[in-house]
Structure 1
Amino acid sequence: MSNLNWAIVGPGGIAHQFADAMTKEGRTVHAVGARNKEKGEAFAKEYGIGLVYDDFDALFADENIDAVYISTPHSNHYEYMMKAVQNGKHILVEKAITVSSRELEAVLQVSREKKVVVMEAMTIFHMPLYAKLKEIAVEKKLGALKMIQVSFGSAKPNDPSNRFFSMDLAGGALLDIGTYALSFARYFLSEKPTEVLSTAKKYETGVDEQSGILLRNAQDEMATISLTFRAKMPKRGIVAYENGFLTVDDFPRADRAMLTYTNGESEEITAGDTASALQYEIRDMEKNIANGENPLSELTEDVVEIMTKVRSDWGIEFPFEK
């Protein structure tokens, strides 16, 4: 659907990647919204965007805009998502799509009334490699799924003023990197977890610094998630079946995986291109708009539900939620 008029809200680092992806897809961006007008104008000049809004309400009300990409901090995703869908806009939203299930369900309810598509820009759900790995799993050549292990560690500077540790900006490892790890696990689990156990260490500002999360569903498939914001760990996902296991390194935008059988034999699985990660999101979004649906929305809802539960268990509530 190349005739869609897109707008970008929040011209930060990931928005530059998105604008580049739009260019590679032969698309143009109709408008950009930025609280800082000068920043918005600089972004618009770089990507040949005709309209700059420093009033987001005016952007959402623009009848010429069909779809909006939201890449602001996730602390205000809900506000902008709700305004966008109320104005009949399709929305592609950076992770974490919302900070809670309550927020997500409220937006989805309006989106159903307005008949617009809401999709999270979760690369894992759109990379061609994962579709190929899912096909291998469905073939049952590997047997039943038993265990998933996912690790993601990012060594952030020990600085309480850093946005990653800000309670006001919904900081913490869970919503920033944990959403990737949980999305990886949920993608391969055949059903949503019915049991969720966790433990967390808080940073001095009150957000989660590191955590361990254990998932189990009715099929007795299990997943363990390890997260930290103060140490580097490989972005590695391992999916273990009765007859072999899949290893995916740098899993958020992976284009290759290793399949190792229990007899020691192995083979590399490849599909897609890491560099095209955001292009796959754009293609899926436009396809979903054309079809009037988002088949991956259930996975997104399940991941947000897990994050909502564990954050509640940890006693972490952001100021804007009170």
Structure 2
Amino acid sequence: MNRIKYNWATLGVGVIGHQLADAMHQLGGNLYAVGNRTHEKAVKFAQEYGIEKVYDDPEEMFMDPNVDVIYISTPHNTHIQYLRQALSHGKHVLCEKSITLNSEELSEAVELAQKNHVVLAEAMTIYHMPIYRKLNAIKDSLGPLRLIQMNFGSYKDYNMKNRFFNKNLAGGAMLDIGVYALSFVRWFMQSCPDQIQSQVKFAPTGVDEQAGILLMNKEQEMATVILSLHAKQPKRGTIVFDKGYVTMYDYPRGDKAVITYTEDGHEETIEAGHTTDALSYEVLDMERAIDGDDQMHLDYTIDVMQMMTKIRQDWHLTYPEEE
């Protein structure tokens, strides 16, 4: 892999922050700096990874002239406030999914990025794993796309105070795992679905615990999505073409797909990339985008956010920041 050449800072020291730091080391470098709402956690993180720069206040990160790129991995509902500050100070931003709560917030962030001539992108691993680019290159040989079937189910502790079910932390299946399924759908469809129907089961806190979604675009390509935060099911994506169907397991960071051909049922295994390198692919694509080779698919991010916003509107599900 290539080496990093920009100064990266991470805002947030959770699981993704640790994976980002590991990816930086894999790429032969290190994070330039770290910030966190709890300063003590940022100091501990810096000591663990040998990071010299720690900010007493996250705002200092946005004002540091030596910072080129900021990776934001704080809770969903804090993203827009940090995006406003980072983009306004001319920082490139790679933001953890879901990039914002809704389309209105995302439109504001996109406008700020354009105004300040910086790259804004969502850290949607599906857009950067080599397997998806390889499938994109061969899908035409399988004929027209007919259907996509998506499953994503986790069995989370049924504690209404944890972030998955906490409305004050923008909990719920849609923003946490639905964004993966819809990004997968958008990657393979010719255009964004414009017909959407859904059903939802709410958790006691009022966030979406489980959902079923039907989608169709103007080309009449169709998709089904089944989500749950309290029912384990395989992270499986099935893309059905005229001449065969493609099956992917553990698809957010997948590195292998199986094609089953319609005519005789024989199977072909396609492999590309490595699951463990997911963050490295994102980092390198972000740097390429900064250099002018746009690999971040912000247009798909905008489409997915429009779908999620429409679905939540149909459910009358809002978060405190939206009320």
Give percent identity, aligned residues only: 49
What are the equivalent positions in structure 2 for 1:90-239 lying under 5 Å apart? 90-137=92-139, 140-239=140-239
Q: What SS does the aligned partner of 1:88 have?
A: coil
- 1:293 to partner: Cα distance: 4.1
Q: How many residues align?
A: 320
Single out whichever of 128-137 and 25-34 deviates more from structure 2. Answer: 25-34
Q: Partner residue of 2:277?
A: 276
Q: What value does the CA root-mean-square deviation take over the aligned residues?
A: 1.0
Contact kept in structure 2, 1:237 and 1:249, CA below 8 Å: yes
Q: Partner residue of 2:317?
A: 316
TM-score (norm 2): 0.97
- 1:294 to partner: Cα distance: 5.0
Q: Partner residue of 2:73?
A: 71
Structure 1 CA distance for aligned equivalents of residues 78 and 296 of structure 2 = 25
**Following TM superposition, where does structure 1 have runs of at least 4 consecutive aligned residues deviating by more than 2 angstroms?**
292-295
Deviation digits for residues 272-307 of structure 1 (CA, Å, limit 9, x no counterpart): 001101000001000000107455111111011100
Q: What SS does the aligned partner of 1:276 have?
A: helix
- 1:31 to partner: Cα distance: 1.0
Contact kept in structure 1, 2:121 and 2:296, CA below 8 Å: no
Q: Partner residue of 1:57?
A: 59
2:87 maps to 1:85? yes
Q: What SS does the aligned partner of 1:233 have?
A: strand
Contact kept in structure 2, 1:255 and 1:273, CA below 8 Å: yes
Structure 2 CA distance for aligned equivalents of residues 65 and 87 of structure 1 = 10
Structure 2 CA distance for aligned equivalents of residues 3 and 176 of structure 1 = 31
Q: Partner residue of 2:42?
A: 40
Structure 2 CA distance for aligned equivalents of residues 167 and 296 of structure 1 = 29
What are the equivalent positions in structure 2 for 1:230-309 lying under 5 Å apart? 230-262=230-262, 263-291=264-292, 293=294, 296-309=297-310
- 1:58 to partner: Cα distance: 1.3
Structure 1 CA distance for aligned equivalents of residues 95 and 199 of structure 2 = 28
Structure 2 CA distance for aligned equivalents of residues 22 and 295 of structure 1 = 19
Q: What SS does the aligned partner of 1:141 have?
A: helix
Letter of the 1:209 counterpart: E
Letter of the 1:10 counterpart: G
Deviation digits for residues 214-251 of structure 1 (CA, Å, limit 9, x no counterpart): 11001100000000011100000000011100000000
